[in-house]
Amino acid sequence: MTQTQEPQTIDWGPFGRPLFDDAAAKGLSRVGVIDVGSNSVRLVVFDGAARSPAYFYNEKIMCALGAGLTQTGHLNPEGRVRALSAIRRFAALAEGMGILPLTAVATAAVREASDGQAFREEVLRETGIKLWIIDGKEEARLSAQGVLLGWPGSYGLVCDIGGSSMELADLADGRVGQRVTSALGPLKLMEIKGGRKAVKAYVRETMAQLHEEMGFETGMRLFLVGGSWRAIARVDMERRAYPLTVLHEYRMSARQISKTAEYIHKSDLQDLRNRCNISDSRMSLVPLASIVLKELMRTFKPKDVAVSSYGIREGMLYEQMPRELRERDPLIEACRFVEAKDARLPGFGRVLYDFVKPLFPRANWQRKRIIKAACLLHDVSWRAHPDYRAEVTFDNATRANLGGLKHYERVLLGLALMNRYSSKPANSRFTPLFAMLDEAQIKEAEILGKAMRLGAMLWLTADEQPGALKWKPKTRELTLRLTEHARPLFGEVAEARFAALVLALDATGDVQFVQSAGKANRTTE
């Protein structure tokens, strides 16, 4: 940029001016994105400029723009009408929300169709929305960046399947590397003549070419992005009677995928659709997508598979983040945002974390982040009815849009928060989910919850530490040291909660009130 060139005159491309480049970013409330795909058209409105934004609004219309494209070379006429109608609606919604201009991109169908440019011009004329048509490699890059939104520093292979195309991208050290695109989308596969056998042969040949282009090593992690992959994962959950139906971070093995592909092939699709709550238009693509996934597993041989609910739309948001924001932990940032918005004493979560962490001297960095998250969320559900507060906290932890959480970690976090609000969380309708944890993890959640339950009684200010816990695991001794300033807070309820924590630790307890340096009054539990 020259010295005389004004920033507002720069063409920032499909992403607009960066959102997070100055202090004013904190004043931004919502960011809207439209994704015009070969099968669906979707509007997502992200709430907040935080590292892990929530979904304020999320709507999709299954338009099948790419249906019949191989044969006609044109966008599906009916799909084109439906897509334009959807975009008109989205533009009106965005205007009502005050979030114009929207960022809008179109992928395989629009870029390949002979009337794709005409459709783009029609959208601009009818709605005022500038639709950016991106190529396959750019689509792969943005999808991979969506994965990075949820897993900073990730490595492995990202596979994004749409209606008309399938993209692969290599991730290493949190950066996007080699990218390729292919015509392995289910809408394209529907047009292959010769039945299932011909489709399998085409998929195998194409996948071998992709593997050669990528030069990808086996034994890496595979991230699955796209509605068809998520539908297959949902069927896998149904087949296995999996207790938690959150798709993000759902893990599948090669054996499970093979069994589910066969399960799909032998099932009545209408019955399966009803049981899994999958739309008709999506379910019609699942059998072909399962053939692609099975061949993908056979060719690339990943060590494990993780489903990502984050893709191109999240990648468009990630595009606008500076490096220092990208590298923050999405879980902790999301919990900080919720605490600031909903807690009665924002900032106390940090104090509470310092209070409880002596109980977990061997916790690695992964476990420490779960403890931090629990402390930040410990008071955000206070508006719920007391009879249901414990269950509300568990629901929030296990089902909320939180990035960077494995499924068992969601349950661990939820159980810790249940223990923070209830002394008997085992008597819960969520008990089947507790089977995802081993006995040591269940005990850890109990101890963390009871420690937070005690610490919540010792509020002074968001910045003042009321006391400290000293834990000696070898001798099973727990000491609570409280300042004189905090003495009035240690009433009957606090005493009972300290006793419950001591019991959970199978320890002896000692309470000390600090009067001056080196002096204390003691009470033994």
Q: What is the dihedral of CA 342, 346, 351, 357, to 10 degrees?
A: 20
236 and 223 in a single domain? The answer is yes
Q: Of 190, 161, 181, nearest to 76 (Cα)?
A: 190
284 and 210 in a single domain? The answer is yes
Name the residue with higher pLDDT: 522 or 101: 101
201 and 84 in a single domain? The answer is no
In whole angstroms, give the CA distance from residue 38 to residue 450: 51
Q: In what order do the strands lie in the sheet with 304-308?
A: 175-182, 166-172, 156-161, 221-225, 304-308, 251-252
In whole angstroms, give the CA distance from residue 1 to residue 174: 28
256 and 243 in a single domain? The answer is yes
Look over the chain and give the mean of its residue pLDDT values, rounded to a whole number: 88
Name 8's Cβ contacts closer than 8 Å, sequence gap at least 6: 17
Q: Is residue 324, in this structure, part of any structural domain at all?
A: no
Q: Of 306, 321, 311, nearest to 44 (Cα)?
A: 311
pLDDT, residue 284, reads: 94
Give DSSP secondary structure letters for 239-261.
HHT-S----TT-EE-HHHHHHHH
Q: Of 384, 441, 387, 388, nearest to 416 (Cα)?
A: 441
Q: Is residue 97, in this structure, part of any structural domain at all?
A: yes
**pLDDT tens digits along 266-278:** 999 999 999 999 9
Arithmetic mean of pLDDT, 388-417: 91
Residue 357 — pLDDT band, cuts 50, 70, 90? very high
**pLDDT tens digits along 403-432:** 889 999 999 999 999 999 987 766 668 888
Name the residue with higher pLDDT: 460 or 250: 250
pLDDT, residue 524, reads: 44
Name the residue with higher pLDDT: 471 or 336: 471
In whole angstroms, give the CA distance from residue 417 to residue 448: 8
Q: In what order do the strands lie in the sheet with 103-106?
A: 54-62, 40-47, 30-36, 103-106, 131-133
In whole angstroms, give the CA distance from residue 478 to residue 480: 7
Q: Which residue has the tokens 């040591």?
A: 440
Last residue of a domain, one of 280, 314, 348: 314
Q: How many domains does the chain have?
A: 3
Arithmetic mean of pLDDT, 321-346: 85
Residue 31 — pLDDT band, cuts 50, 70, 90? confident
Residue 28 — pLDDT band, cuts 50, 70, 90? very low
* Portion of the chain with pLDDT greater than 70, in percent: 90
Give me the CATH number covering residue 232: 3.30.420.150
**Residue 517 in this model has a pLDDT that exceeds 80:** no
Q: How many CB atoms lie within 10 A of CB 503?
A: 12
In whole angstroms, give the CA distance from residue 148 to residue 309: 12
In whole angstroms, give the CA distance from residue 222 to residue 214: 14
Query: Among 48-62, 296-310, 330-344, 495-509, which stretch is predicted with the lowest mean pLDDT?
Result: 48-62
SS3 state of residue 435: coil
237 and 352 in a single domain? The answer is no
SS3 state of residue 175: strand
Q: Is residue 323, in this structure, part of any structural domain at all?
A: no
pLDDT, residue 262, reads: 95
Q: 488: which DSSP letter?
A: G
SS3 state of residue 301: coil
In whole angstroms, give the CA distance from residue 321 to residue 234: 31
Last residue of a domain, one of 115, 134, 153: 134
In whole angstroms, give the CA distance from residue 516 to residue 513: 9
274 and 421 in a single domain? The answer is no
Q: Could you give the C-alpha distances from 306 to 120, 251, 383, 405, 510, in angstroms and in order?
A: 34, 5, 35, 11, 46
Q: Is residue 4, in this structure, part of any structural domain at all?
A: no
For 370-379, b/e burial (b = at least 16 CB within 10 A) is bbbbbbbbbb
**Residue 504 in this model has a pLDDT that exceeds 60:** yes
Last residue of a domain, one of 134, 156, 174: 134
Which of left, alpha, beta for 68 (phi over 0: left; psi -120 to 50: alpha)? left
Instruction: With beta carbons less than 8 A apart as the criterion, state whether 441 and 94 touch.
Output: no
Q: Could you give the C-alpha distances from 482 to 353, 485, 494, 512, 519, in angstroms and in order?
A: 16, 8, 12, 6, 12
pLDDT, residue 2, reads: 39
Instruction: With beta carbons less than 8 A apart as the criterion, state whether 345 and 44 touch.
Output: no
343 and 484 in a single domain? The answer is yes
Strand intervals (E) in 311-433: none
**pLDDT tens digits along 194-250:** 999 999 999 999 999 999 999 866 678 999 999 999 999 999 999 999 999 999 999
431 and 498 in a single domain? The answer is yes
Range of the domain at 385: 329-524
**Residue 158 in this model has a pLDDT that exceeds 60:** yes
Using alpha carbons only, what angle is made at residue 92 by residues 88 and 93, rounded to the nearest 5 degrees?
115
Q: Could you give the C-alpha distances from 124 to 60, 102, 320, 433, 517, in angstroms and in order?
A: 20, 12, 23, 49, 72
103 and 169 in a single domain? The answer is no
Q: 379: which DSSP letter?
A: T
Structure tokens at 42: 């979707």
pLDDT, residue 502, reads: 98
pLDDT, residue 426, reads: 60
Instruction: With beta carbons less than 8 A apart as the criterion, state whether 507 and 481 touch.
Output: no
508 and 418 in a single domain? The answer is yes
**Residue 16 in this model has a pLDDT that exceeds 70:** no
Q: Is residue 145, in this structure, part of any structural domain at all?
A: yes
Q: Is residue 391, in this structure, part of any structural domain at all?
A: yes
161 and 297 in a single domain? The answer is yes
Arithmetic mean of pLDDT, 88-108: 93
379 and 470 in a single domain? The answer is yes
**pLDDT tens digits along 33-78:** 999 999 999 999 988 656 777 788 999 999 999 999 989 999 999 9
Q: How many CB atoms lie within 10 A of CB 53?
A: 23
* Portion of the chain with pLDDT greater than 90, in percent: 71
